[in-house]
């Protein structure tokens, strides 16, 4: 059985006390939708079990059924540790796809819509002294193409670029005790130009003249900041001088303290909330001092031009679908990509588990954060994706690894954006909403083609090496060539100096007969690992030597179900000499 994740599920803001609720739960399909009328939230039927946090479609769940079951129920019993008495108990869900109603001891405690982002509920008033019943009802309309579903197919069997669906709980469920007055999730904004980092946080509960927040910041074991702050209001905003606090002045410039893939320097933080001289809440966090910008048409990392060598990573796993079997599996994907000389990834059509972003921060790996898109446009789709994307940006704002936001991809959910003003307005709204939530990172309005306003011009091109070499000799040829018979910019919009990257190319299929997929496919095909290296070299060198480009993203890191165009198999086995791939990628610095 897979190793269920035991690491703290919110690594950007950790408390010492927590209780993981992953593991065996009772489970039931509700195809007749009788659970509500029969009050399963009060008397759960003895049906079957499931291994949380794996969706029932995944083999690691113990069920492995890809057929449609649009309403499912979960149940388990839990006990709150005695040492948590007197504290507020918070129930957390990492992600539940798509709508969730949560009941504790027969009482509804929270409702949430959105399959990619976390939610929580304070459940103390609903608890009993010993054992407690936790029930979750989930609706996931399998054929509704106006919900943000990403690569999850709306047919029972996966095909083409679409894969097996994920229904229900697919990230960690956990309990956490907090004091009546406690620290809310923090927000870090670094500014390397001034050497300052800005902290914003919310203090929940009652605040008095005796409430103080102690902030300790260390760097590689050296104390950089230790400040005691009087808390007057629930919203606290404070800037800390980082550069001026170094006792070793050799550390204050460049890679000595900046975060980058080559030097993933992180500052560790401990918060202590104090009332009347007593610590009532404590949490750990971290941040990276790094800057992402576009200046005079050049992508910059820490005020220097930076060439991005990305790999497309869809975040699917053979036993777990969207859920990794373990924390090590998330870490290993990054290590394998770095071993091949990639400095980052596009997390394609998936809001990835925060544990992946944690490892990208720690190991030094760029990430383009991308929303799972709807497939069709409607007013409901606009409302759904906008609300959920805002939650995703808020959740992941602090991660230094994220260097670009991608709310929309390849005109998914906006198929008429090239000419229709309403869908163009949606693209612009997503762009500007993202900028309003996070002005520190570039935003791509519509990855691949038919851009409206974008800080980066990402182009998808699966043509030959020779055709790509010709297309990207100049900026003009780059933005007028239409590799997918789609304009690079929507009508009424044009290139205005944004850095140009080919953000999908390659897709070279090589079937190593690992899974015996009868309908395996790619955008081109080879018959050996040596051929794969040769084709990769021709295509990648064409882009590395193209004067108009500032980076690339190869399709893709691993095979996914019937799509066999990974450099690794679905089970993460190399298809060719990874050192050869690394040498090709490193031929341009």
pLDDT of amino acid 254: 56
Q: Is 223 exposed, middle or buried (0-12, 13-18, 19+ CB in 10 A)?
A: exposed
The distance in angstroms from the start CA to the end CA of the chain is: 43
Average pLDDT value for residue range 139-157: 94
Confidence of residue 252 (pLDDT cuts 50, 70, 90): low
Average pLDDT value for residue range 44-64: 95
Confidence check: pLDDT of 522 > 90: no
Q: Are strands 235-241 and 211-219 parallel, antiparallel or unpaired?
A: unpaired
CB-based contact 418:456 (threshold 8 Å)? no
- Measured CA to CA, the distance from residue 187 to residue 66 in angstroms comes to 39
pLDDT of amino acid 300: 98
Confidence check: pLDDT of 2 > 50: no
Q: Give CA separation, 467 vs 77, 292, 539, in Å.
A: 60, 31, 10
SS3 293: strand
Confidence of residue 210 (pLDDT cuts 50, 70, 90): confident
CB-based contacts of 432: which residues, under 8 Å, 6+ apart?
none
**Residue of 568, 563, 512 whose CA lies nearest to 536:** 568
pLDDT of amino acid 250: 52
For residue 165, the tally of other CB atoms under 10 A from its CB is 26
Name the average pLDDT for the chain.
Answer: 94
Torsion on CA atoms 350, 354, 358, 359, rounded to nearest 10: -50
Task: Give the residue carrying structure tokens 């004067």.
Answer: 547
pLDDT of amino acid 513: 77
Instruction: Give me the residues paired with residue 554 across strands.
Output: 311, 505
CB-based contact 146:378 (threshold 8 Å)? yes
- Measured CA to CA, the distance from residue 135 to residue 303 in angstroms comes to 51
Confidence check: pLDDT of 221 > 60: yes
CB-based contact 447:406 (threshold 8 Å)? yes
- Measured CA to CA, the distance from residue 236 to residue 245 in angstroms comes to 22
Task: Give the residue carrying structure tokens 């059509």.
Answer: 349
- Domains of the chain with CATH codes: 19-178 (2.60.120.260), 193-287 (2.60.40.10), 303-585 (3.20.20.80)
Confidence check: pLDDT of 279 > 80: yes
Confidence check: pLDDT of 5 > 70: no
Confidence of residue 588 (pLDDT cuts 50, 70, 90): confident
Confidence check: pLDDT of 47 > 90: no
Q: Is 399 exposed, middle or buried (0-12, 13-18, 19+ CB in 10 A)?
A: buried
Tell which phi-psi region holds residue 270, choosing left (phi > 0), alpha (psi between -120 and 50) or beta: beta
Q: Give CA separation, 410 vs 201, 330, 565, in Å.
A: 36, 26, 19
pTM: 0.95
- Measured CA to CA, the distance from residue 294 to residue 562 in angstroms comes to 38
- What does residue 471 show for φ and ψ, rounded to 5 degrees? -70, -25
Q: Which tokens hold the place of 301? A: 């990392």
Beta strands in 140-277 (DSSP E): 168-169, 173-178, 182-183, 187-191, 196-204, 211-219, 222-230, 235-241, 267-275
pLDDT in tens, 152-183: 999 988 989 999 999 999 999 999 999 999 99
Average pLDDT value for residue range 131-155: 96
Confidence of residue 255 (pLDDT cuts 50, 70, 90): low
Average pLDDT value for residue range 123-127: 96
pLDDT of amino acid 516: 57
CB-based contact 424:487 (threshold 8 Å)? no
Confidence check: pLDDT of 249 > 60: no
**Residue of 388, 437, 522 whose CA lies nearest to 97:** 388
Confidence of residue 253 (pLDDT cuts 50, 70, 90): low
Confidence of residue 1 (pLDDT cuts 50, 70, 90): very low
CB-based contact 100:112 (threshold 8 Å)? yes
pLDDT of amino acid 75: 98
Distance of CA 502 to the CA centre of its chain: 21
Confidence of residue 518 (pLDDT cuts 50, 70, 90): low
Task: Give the residue carrying structure tokens 């990430």.
Answer: 367
CB-based contact 10:279 (threshold 8 Å)? no
pLDDT in tens, 300-334: 999 999 999 999 999 999 999 999 999 999 999 99
Tell which phi-psi region holds residue 150, choosing left (phi > 0), alpha (psi between -120 and 50) or beta: left
Higher model confidence: residue 573 or residue 276?
Answer: 573
Average pLDDT value for residue range 212-222: 94
């Amino acid at each position: 059985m897979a190793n269920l994740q035991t690491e703290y599920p919110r690594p950007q803001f950790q408390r010492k006390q927590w209780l993981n609720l992953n593991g065996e739960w009772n489970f039931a399909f509700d195809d007749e939708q009788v659970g509500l009328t029969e009050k399963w939230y009060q008397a759960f039927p003895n049906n079957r079990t499931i291994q949380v946090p794996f969706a029932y479609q995944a083999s690691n769940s113990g069920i492995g059924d890809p057929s449609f079951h649009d309403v499912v129920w979960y149940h388990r019993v839990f006990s709150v540790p005695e040492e948590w008495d007197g504290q507020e108990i918070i129930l957390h869900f990492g992600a539940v796809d798509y709508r969730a109603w949560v009941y504790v001891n027969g009482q509804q405690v929270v409702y949430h819509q959105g399959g990619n982002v976390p939610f929580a509920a304070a459940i103390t008033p609903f608890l009993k002294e010993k054992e407690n019943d936790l029930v979750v009802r989930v609706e996931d309309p399998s054929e509704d193409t106006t919900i943000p579903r990403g690569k999850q197919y709306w047919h029972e069997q996966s095909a083409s670029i679409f894969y097996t669906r994920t229904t229900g709980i697919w990230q960690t469920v956990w309990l956490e005790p907090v004091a009546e007055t406690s620290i809310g999730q923090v927000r870090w904004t670094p500014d390397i130009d001034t050497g300052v980092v800005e902290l914003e946080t919310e203090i929940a509960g009652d605040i008095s003249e005796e409430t103080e927040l102690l902030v300790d910041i260390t760097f590689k074991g050296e104390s950089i900041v230790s400040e005691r702050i009087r808390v007057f209001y629930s919203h606290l905003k404070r800037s800390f001088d980082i550069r001026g606090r170094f006792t070793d002045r050799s550390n204050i410039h460049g890679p000595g303290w900046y975060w980058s893939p080559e030097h993933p320097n992180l500052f560790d933080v401990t918060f202590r909330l104090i009332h009347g001289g007593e610590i009532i809440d404590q949490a750990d966090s971290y941040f990276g001092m790094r800057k992402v910008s576009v200046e005079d048409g050049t992508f910059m990392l820490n005020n220097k031009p930076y060439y991005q060598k990305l790999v497309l990573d869809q975040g699917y796993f053979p036993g777990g679908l969207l859920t990794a079997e373990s924390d090590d599996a998330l870490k290993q994907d990054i290590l394998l990509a770095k071993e091949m000389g990639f400095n980052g990834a596009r997390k394609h059509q998936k809001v990835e588990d925060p544990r992946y972003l944690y490892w990208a921060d720690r190991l030094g790996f760029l990430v383009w954060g991308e929303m799972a898109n709807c497939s069709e446009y409607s007013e409901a789709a606009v409302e759904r994706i906008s609300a959920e994307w805002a939650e995703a940006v808020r959740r992941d704002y602090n991660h230094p690894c994220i260097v670009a936001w991608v709310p929309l991809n390849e005109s998914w959910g906006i198929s008429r954006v090239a000419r229709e003003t309403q869908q163009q307005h949606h693209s612009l709204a997503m762009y500007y909403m993202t900028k309003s939530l996070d002005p520190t990172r570039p935003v791509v309005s519509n990855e691949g083609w038919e851009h409206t306003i974008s800080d980066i011009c990402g182009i998808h091109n699966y043509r030959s090496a020779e055709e790509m070499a010709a297309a990207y000799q100049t900026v003009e040829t780059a933005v007028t060539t239409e590799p997918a018979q789609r304009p690079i910019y929507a009508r009424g919009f044009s290139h205005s100096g944004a850095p140009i990257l080919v953000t999908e190319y390659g897709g070279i299929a090589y079937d190593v007969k690992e899974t015996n997929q009868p309908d395996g496919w790619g955008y081109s095909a080879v018959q050996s690992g040596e051929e794969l290296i040769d084709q990769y070299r021709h295509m990648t060198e064409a882009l590395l030597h193209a004067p108009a480009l500032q980076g690339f993203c190869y399709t893709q890191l691993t095979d996914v179900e019937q799509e066999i165009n990974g450099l690794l198999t679905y089970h993460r086995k190399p298809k060719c000499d990874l050192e050869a791939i690394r040498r090709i990628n490193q031929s341009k610095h």
